[in-house]
Amino acid sequence: MSVALRGLLRGAVRRVQVRTFAAEAPKETVKEGEMALTFAAGNKVFYNKVSVKQVDVPSFSGSFGILAKHVPTLAVLRTVVESDGKQNKIFVSSGTVTVNDDSSVQVLAEEAHPLENLDRGAAQEALSKAQSELSSASGDKAKAEAAIAVEVAEEIVKAASA
CB 114 within 8 A of CB 90: yes
- What's residue 132's pLDDT? 92
Do the strands 105-114 and 35-41 form a parallel or antiparallel pair, or are they unpaired?
parallel
pLDDT at 130 > cutoff 80: yes
Q: Give the containing element (helix H, strand E) for 130.
A: helix 120-136
Phi-psi region of 82 (alpha: psi -120 to 50; beta: other; left: phi over 0): beta
Residues β-bridged to residue 64? 57
> How does pLDDT run across 81-113, given as a tens digit for each residue?
777 888 878 887 777 778 887 778 887 887 788
> How does pLDDT run across 41-65, given as a tens digit for each residue?
888 888 888 888 888 877 667 777 7
Which residues lie below 8 Å from residue 107, measured CB to CB, with a gap of 6+?
37, 38, 39, 40, 46, 47, 55, 77, 92, 95, 96, 97, 98
Q: Which residue has the higher pLDDT, 16 or 105?
A: 105
Domains of the chain: 3-12+119-161 (no CATH), 35-116 (2.60.15.10)
Do the strands 79-82 and 73-75 form a parallel or antiparallel pair, or are they unpaired?
unpaired
* Full-model pTM: 0.58
Closest CA to 4 of 157, 133, 141: 133
Round to whole Å and give the CA distance between 160 and 162. 6
